Structure 1
Amino acid sequence: MNVNNIPFGSQQSHFTGKPDILPGGFTFDKEHQKLSVGDIVSAGTLGICDELNRTIRIIKTARVSNISEDGRKVELCTYPYNDPCFKVGERVYKADCTNVDFSTVPKIEKIKETGVYVLYLSCPIPDLKENDIIEQMVESDGIAVEIGKADCLTIRNVELTDLDAGVDVTQSTGIFSVKEKLIPPIPNSQKDPTGKFLIGNPHIKLISILE
């Protein structure tokens, strides 16, 4: 198992203190999600924990920085805290949309990762604007839905040097919090009504970097 972990406690930590690490060791769920050697999964990425199989399925999100005139070329923010890892063939849509026919959801046809991270889509995403969040979608009874409600977060940046890379996750920030502005974007659908906790796990608290 080969993995490069960026140590916890860097100069600008994603957490206000050291979060609890879920014990036992986990790997990414490569059976139900596309990942590749060389991908970087950013610290603070939303995940769904399968404790029985000891796997984590990440929720792929990114913020839009620019859109072409025809809407099919979408540039994504790659600030130091977010490394998108979408794959060709995946479906993406504007986060927090509901009752969308899955057959109308664009498929990623090409990805450019050098310099600016760009998705080339099979068709435009309606009403997509700069600064919107896009998210990987899957099908449920013909409707596009997010892959699930996150119940954990990755703790460190993880570079996949093989597809069995281990990953540390937290299911509780304890007395601490995660700085939302320093992690991949979180759709409102993943937050409770206060916007300060995850719906899927109220033990994970979110704060702005100014708090």
Structure 2
Amino acid sequence: MFEYIKGSLEFIGKDYIVVDNQNIGYKIHTSNASIADFKTNSEKVTVYTQLIVREDDMSIFGFSTREELKMFQLLTTVTGIGSKVALAILSSIPIGRLTGIIVSEDVNSLTKAQGVGKKTAQRIILELKDKVDSKMAIIEPSLISTQLLDNDTEEAISALMALGYTKGEAKTTINKVKDSCNSIEEIIKKALVFLSK
């Protein structure tokens, strides 16, 4: 119904703002990140909005960017995620980092958001990993390294076994060298150097 609302910022609550537009005050539920954005330009704000209608309630949710609104809309498509939980997630985790968490399937980081347990985090990742814009993802370097190594360890072991080493030799050696590596090729190369000593 409302694409956006423009007006002056009249009040900031814990998880909402009030925007005055032609002497009508709109109560708009929003995230911590958007509240911070609105504070920097309180005279005239543009809030990208979605009206949520239920049997006993009509609420406006809005954000300082279209990207955050889109993420909110995506989160509310996930089974069992309502508008309040979606807002709590966006208030706990900045959108770029949230996108990175979903893209990299980082369940543990997602469970740090209020109202999100392990099963809910897994469901969010499963349902949204192919829908989010990966270009917006901010992924922690340590997380990339850890996940890369976890995924590639078995492949590196198989490669060394194909070269005649036992599984035990391969696994022990890879565990010794993998922490200083950033790719499967580097793991195998360093493992071979170690084994040839």
Question: What TM-score do you get using the length of structure 2 for normalisation?
Answer: 0.24
Q: Which has the higher helix share?
A: 2
Task: Report the TM-score when normalising by structure 1.
Answer: 0.23
Larger Rg over CA atoms: 2
